[in-house]
Structure 1
């Protein structure tokens, strides 16, 4: 059987504050529409220089802990050479080096094969850009 490739771009509104946005439901819906019970790979990619994709537990404080850790590692102050935008915006451009803008995940029998507490999340610390795109691609 030949492999198939399907992709869909979704729009996410992250709001005007730093956020960890859970994409798991959108990934599950996409796979329900396109995977048709196949094994394969789901690639999640955000085409932005100031956002990333992470796997983590949400709702139990880990999402807030991640944002706190990023604040410690990448403070929003005037140390950054990249100066346009909100104060400290230069740190947003360093974020994808720590939280990459992509993740490739296994799909088994058409279902996302995540661990019990794992969620697929968009990590966005850039308060200047509230509209984000995420590209979901299935290879099966």
Structure 2
């Protein structure tokens, strides 16, 4: 017999130190544990256009360093081709970086826990050079 599905939402903020990665796996896992869901999905969404959410390697910091170096070459700050620079030379590049990555991430819930791979973590990737308070919503769907 299957259990009736339910939906639980949490909203929280993350203070970023500036461009780079902030792991949020523990916060998402805490929400799953509090909800008591055994099976389903955890969907994380950012309410901003200059940061993104990714699932990537959480053991070797070099991976995140290399991701940042790669996207910096792909989308450089201060490119004179950008017309939108209201908040400085990192403004338009931050928007492009966010579009090229994702505003959300979804992870299965299995046996009451996030079913992340051994070396996976959920990260908020700040694309602005200075810190921001980022608002996130986690939607848990399952039973």
TM-score, scaled relative to structure 2: 0.90
Contact 1:45–1:135 (Cα < 8 Å) also in 2: yes
Counterparts of 1:47 and 1:3, CA distance in 2: 26
Other-structure match for 1:51: 51
Other-structure match for 1:108: 110
Considering only aligned residues, what root-mean-square deviation do their CA atoms show, in Å? 1.4
Match of 1:99 among 75, 98, 101: 101
Cα offset, 1:109, TM superposition: 1.4
Counterparts of 1:38 and 1:88, CA distance in 2: 42
Gaps of 5+ in 2: none
Contact 1:42–1:139 (Cα < 8 Å) also in 2: yes
Contact 1:52–1:99 (Cα < 8 Å) also in 2: yes
Contact 1:55–1:121 (Cα < 8 Å) also in 2: yes
Contact 1:43–1:138 (Cα < 8 Å) also in 2: yes
Counterparts of 1:46 and 1:13, CA distance in 2: 13
Contact 1:45–1:102 (Cα < 8 Å) also in 2: yes
The total of aligned residue pairs comes to 138
Any idea what the Cα deviations from partners look like across 1:106-139, whole Å, max 9, x if unmatched? 1101110011100000011113551111111100
The answer to whether residue 104 in structure 2 is matched with residue 139 in structure 1 is no
Gaps of 5+ in 1: none
